Structures are given as C-alpha cells and as structure tokens.
Amino acid sequence: MNHSYCQTCATAVCLQGVYKVYNRKPVVQDLTLAIERGEAFGLLGPNGAGKSTTIRMVTTLTRPSEGDIWVAGCNVVKQPLEVRRRIGVVLQQVSVDGDLTVWENMEFHGRLHHIPLAERRRRINYWLEYVELTERRDDPAKILSGGMKRRLQIARALLHQPQILFLDEPTVGLDPQTRRKLWAIIRQLNQDGMTIVLTSHYMEEVEYLCQRVGIIDGGKLIAQGTVPELRRQLGEGLVVKQLGDRWEHKFFPDLAAANAYLANFEDKTGLLVRPSNLEDVFVELTGHQLD
C-alpha cells in the first residue's frame, strides 16, 4: 500500500503505520488498514483497545503521533477541512441540542456547512423524511426518545452529503426494536453507495451490517476480513463444553469434524456442537468477553 494508492478514489479510508501515543504510552500501534469506497466496515475491539482513538484520528479530532491517514483522498493532518467536508460523524454521546427543535438542529448544521437556503430546506425535508422524523420537526429535541435522537444525529450527519459516514456505537443503550430500525437506515445508506465505518459491541449488528471486519486489541490490528474468512481461519465448527459456570470452546475446520470429535465421548453431558460465529472469533483472538 502506498501514498498514491491511498489517494485513489478506490480507497475511502487509508491508514499507514499509524501510531497514537499518550504520556509515552502507545494507544494505537503501527495500524495499517484500507477501507474501500462503498463498503461497510466494522471496527471491533474490547474497551481500551484503541477503537475510539482510531475513529478520532480518522475524523480529524486528534492528530496521529506518527504515520499517514487519508480520507476520501485527503490527508487528515494537512487537509483537515477538506476531510470534514467529506465525512459525516455520529459519535456515541448524544450531541443534539435539546433546546432547539428537530428542524432547528438541522438548520444550524446546514448553515455551518454554508448550504444555500433553498437547497438547505430541500435537504432537511429529505433527510427528516428518510429517518421518519418529519412529524416531529417542530418538537424540541430534548423530548425525543433515545432512538429518535440517534436518528436525528444520523440525518444531521448526512445533511452536507458526505462520502463517508462514521458511526461510533450507534445503537448503544437502545431497545431491540429501535436498534433494528436504525439497522435498516444504515443498511439502506450503504446499499445506496455510502461508505460506512462502524464501531460496535453488538456482534449481530456487525454481522448484519458490515461486509468486512477489523479487530483491534492492544492498539494493534490483529485480524481483518469478511466474517466467513475470519470463521474459516479459526474453524467453522465449534465444540462447546460447560465447565461449572463457564464455557470452553474448541474450534474445528467444519461441523463434520466437530461432530466426529464429539462422537469420541461416551458421556456427552454439557457438550454441544454448533457453527462458530463472529463473537466466538472475537473472544478467541482477544481473550476478552464482550462488554
């Protein structure tokens, strides 16, 4: 991977040898990663692994200590304003202004991006309808439910027509029905051509939304690929054994091999064969349960 490749339109996000050091302690170490234009990419890792720091660097909120980051063909250190024009960001913390109405939150964001009046109104109407908030346009944002506030954040992040949408734990703390509604919005955006970069602790969310996954642990990228690729690397079949209040996992190339292993046991109490999933891969590679 070279600089010219990072600047090509094929790559939405490109990191080369990126480090971030706080108080002489590396939080992100030698991170090299390319996210293609139009793909949905999931960034996973236990708490403190460096996910949020990586997102902050890529979205120009903090400078890398070393290495190069290119977003939509622009260097995040040398061209931060150009990067900000090309990205939308929805952070984990709710960041809508509660005292403004839904419409006013959108209007304020549109003015910050110098979108002309007529075009601004057209886009606000379009995105509020897209996230099903048209009927709440005159309500103060503080009376919205958590899910509605998150949908407003997404609509606001899309108002200036970014090429790439960064979502940091977008459904944390939301009920399952609201999460599914947000999934539908995110998936449709990606199907319409939007590049999505997502961090999440919900494995089923990542499996549903993302074509590829990168796993960070200790500030390093320890695995990346599609979910089927990651499962094949460790094994698609799993024998699970219950030991008191914990579970032991043993990977096999496929279910047939796992079943053949199970057949060796006369007493199969507490033993189970099933296909491996992304959560199994995550726990095996990081040694961490999901929070």
Quick one: pLDDT at residue 235?
94
pLDDT at position 95 is 85
pLDDT digits (tens, 9 = 90+) for 231-251: 999 999 999 988 888 888 899
The predicted pLDDT at position 149 comes to 93
Does residue 132 carry a pLDDT above 80? yes
**Confidence class for position 7, pLDDT limits 50, 70, 90:** low
Q: Name the pLDDT band for 280 (thresholds 50, 70, 90).
A: very high
Supply φ then ψ for residue 265, to 5 degrees.
-95, 125
Does 266 have pLDDT greater than 90? no
Asked whether residue 127 carries a pLDDT value surpassing 60, the answer given is yes
CA distance 56 to 284: 27
pLDDT score at 237: 95
Q: Give me the pLDDT at residue 175, please.
A: 87
**Measured between alpha carbons, how far is 37 from 197 in angstroms, rounded to an integer?**
11
The rounded distance, in Å, linking the Cα atoms of 59 and 94 is: 17
The most distant pair of C-alpha atoms in the chain lies apart, rounded to whole Å, by: 75
Domain ranges of the chain: 36-64+75-226, 229-286
Are the CB atoms for 148 and 98 separated by under 8 Å? no
Using DSSP bridges, classify how beta strands 40-44 and 212-217 pair: parallel, antiparallel or unpaired: parallel
> Per residue in 68-96, pLDDT tens?
999 999 999 999 999 999 999 998 888 89
Instruction: Give the pLDDT mean for 159-170.
Output: 93
Burial 201-238, CB ≥16 within 10 A → b, else e? bbbebbeebbebbbbbbebebebbeebeebbeebbbbb
Q: In whole angstroms, give the CA distance from residue 238 to residue 248.
A: 10
CATH of span 36-64+75-226: 3.40.50.300
Instruction: Taking residues 29-33, report their average pLDDT.
Output: 95
For 249-285, b/e burial (b = at least 16 CB within 10 A) is eebbeebebbeeebeeeeeeeeeebeebbbbbbbbbb
Across the range 214-231, mean pLDDT stands at 94
Residue 153: pLDDT over 90: yes
> How many C-beta atoms surround the C-beta of residue 100 within 10 A?
15
At residue 173 the predicted structure's pLDDT band, cuts being 50, 70 and 90, is: confident
Mean pLDDT of the 31-37 span: 95
